[in-house]
Amino acid sequence: MVETDKEALLDTDVSMEMEAEIEEIDEEIKSFKMNEFKIGNQNFIFNAEDPIFTCTGEKKEKRELNDCGTCKIVSLTKKTMVFCQFCGDANCKDCCNKNRFYPRAKLDNNGEKPRGRICKLCDRKFLVRAILLESQAKV
């Protein structure tokens, strides 16, 4: 657990991995319709008013799920659930291994924004939002 936290801390918001991911979803965004986006074979609805975009810290309410909230494939038990600290949903460990700044968080004593563990679904929503805002700015 400590080991993955360390790794996660090294993971910056604009990493190589993320650039690859942006390219990967660029095609999806081109065919973006009715605010739908895809992760694997799952369709999700993008909501610009999603509370994760304005959260100030860890979401306290946790939601236990039988299947991972992102991939919907991996079955979860109380032991294997990893809770996203943005949406509060249970995920498998592979779908919840990144972290990100809370968008509206106050700076901590080191002058840094606190980070939280984030699931792939929430992370993708931030990415979709960034791309949408960028494309709107161009128009």
Which positions touch Zn ion (CB under 5 A)?
68, 70-71, 74, 84, 86-87, 92, 95, 119, 122
Give the integer Cα–Cα distance in Å for 5 and 99. Answer: 9
Who contacts 101 (Cβ-Cβ below 8 Å, separation ≥6)? 13, 113, 114, 115
The residue (of 71 and 81) whose beta carbon lies closer to Zn ion is 71
Q: At what angle do helices 120-138 and 16-30 cross, to 10 degrees?
A: 60
The residue (of 68 and 81) whose beta carbon lies closer to Zn ion is 68
Residue 77 corresponds to which tokens in the numbers above? 């038990």
In the complex, the smallest distance separating the C-beta of residue 68 from Zn ion, rounded to whole angstroms, is 3
In the complex, the smallest distance separating the C-beta of residue 134 from Zn ion, rounded to whole angstroms, is 22
The residue (of 104 and 135) whose beta carbon lies closer to Zn ion is 104
